[in-house]
Structure 1
């Protein structure tokens, strides 16, 4: 005979997988609110504690998320970036089953600010090309990238089609292959302009990333400032000892 505790364990796992299947099949959509635990308990014929245990497993996995005092919601799928390798956004998104798209918001020649100049090994106010792009996954905003490259190395980048080609491909056309990158990631809150571009509320969590990309001979090619939606973007790193 199966024990009561074993039955409870089996039931919460069934409930967890039922919710997961409804999300996978599209019955429950990203951003949609789940029924309250009390209603789910009646609907599924289980105790509220059993319902909660199944839901907590999905919250731990990032499949669901909870807003205090509001309820439990279906999370958007994350773009999982493996930062142990240099992979373009298009390649990473396609590999995970997303439809990637990139919109060029701004592109112009400006003088390098101090932080940008230091990263690219330039003089302050030396001409650079600044490109701001909005990256989308399945039509939903994911990140805003402000990319800076030395004008003297890539003057015709102003005419390049960056809506279908990654910037790194354009750099390669000039004989500079991207070899390595150094980046820093930190948590920040979305300010008004960035919140509007990313389609989130002002003050929503974002992952802020600074990245300098180098060629094989060590030439700094690009300095990027990236604002990534905290609810759509995750990073994986392999640590060894």
Structure 2
């Protein structure tokens, strides 16, 4: 809910700070998916009591602009998140929505050129800069899947500053107003190298389920190429069809 009361120089300090933080969110100084300064840092910067800082932050959390993550900090959510969470997601997103004891660990977040292979999937030039993200998904503390994603940098330029242990890629897309409208998926059986097999806690000589998907937005742009290596002993796939 937006503020109702006018805020001016004579307003309580927590209201003034609330509006200052809101302004930094709205003008992009605090982008969605990133952490704002700590309570202590804000108190020191603006010379006000920590209780006033906490009150300002609590108000913005109540509005849905900020999100508190225990042990990590206070993160900017952005006003688009609530209405865009219905976006179709990949295997990791399905896991988050269906399991209360899931966890995602970020392994790699790096920039790289598309190269011939991923340029073919994403419909771009081999020189196009991409973000490469690799994560391990766990359920009840046990490895379930290895997730890889390749995303054009121009679609989500702020991704290096986003904590992907807090936000999923599909939430990041929502920050930029990107709605996944369709995808092309394939399912196969593949073998992992020894390092990846250890991460998933599987025998390197046994096959795992590999799900590949190219996701598109409503304008037909290829937004993401994703590859998920999934333990077949931990999940089932169901397909629904209509004649």
1:95 offset after TM fit, Å?
5.5
CA pair 158-97 structure 1, distance change in 2 beyond 3 A: closer
On the 8 A contact 1:114/1:124 being kept in 2, the answer is yes
CA pair 240-226 structure 1, distance change in 2 beyond 3 A: same
On the 8 A contact 2:193/2:204 being kept in 1, the answer is yes
Superposed, 1:95-114 pairs within 5 Å as 96-114=98-116
CA pair 140-214 structure 1, distance change in 2 beyond 3 A: same
C-alpha distance in 2 between matches for 1:94 and 1:171: 16
Superposed, 1:120-135 pairs within 5 Å as 120-135=122-137
Match of 1:230 in 2: 232
Measured on the aligned residues, the alpha-carbon RMSD in Å equals 1.9
1:230 offset after TM fit, Å?
1.5
On the 8 A contact 1:88/1:166 being kept in 2, the answer is no
1:205 offset after TM fit, Å?
2.2
Match of 1:194 in 2: 196
1:86 offset after TM fit, Å?
3.3
C-alpha distance in 2 between matches for 1:127 and 1:187: 29
CA pair 129-186 structure 1, distance change in 2 beyond 3 A: same
Is the aligned partner of 1:117 residue 2:119? yes
The partner residue of 1:181 within 180, 183, 191 is: 183
Say which SS state the counterpart of residue 155 (structure 1) adopts.
Answer: coil
1:195 offset after TM fit, Å?
0.5
1:88 offset after TM fit, Å?
5.3
TM-score by length of 2: 0.60
On the 8 A contact 1:172/1:178 being kept in 2, the answer is no
1:178-211 CA-to-partner distances (Å, cap 9, x unmatched) read 1111111101233312201101111122011211
CA pair 111-199 structure 1, distance change in 2 beyond 3 A: same
CA pair 92-190 structure 1, distance change in 2 beyond 3 A: same
The partner residue of 1:149 within 145, 148, 151 is: 151
C-alpha distance in 1 between matches for 2:96 and 2:132: 26
Is the aligned partner of 1:140 residue 2:139? no
CA pair 209-88 structure 1, distance change in 2 beyond 3 A: closer
CA pair 97-159 structure 1, distance change in 2 beyond 3 A: closer
The alignment covers a number of residue pairs equal to: 157
Q: Which runs of 5+ in 1 are unaligned?
A: 1-84
The partner residue of 2:222 within 199, 220, 234 is: 220
TM-score by length of 1: 0.60
Match of 1:206 in 2: 208
Q: Which has the higher strand share?
A: 1
On the 8 A contact 1:93/1:99 being kept in 2, the answer is no
1:94 offset after TM fit, Å?
5.5
The structure with the larger Rg is 1
C-alpha distance in 1 between matches for 2:189 and 2:93: 25
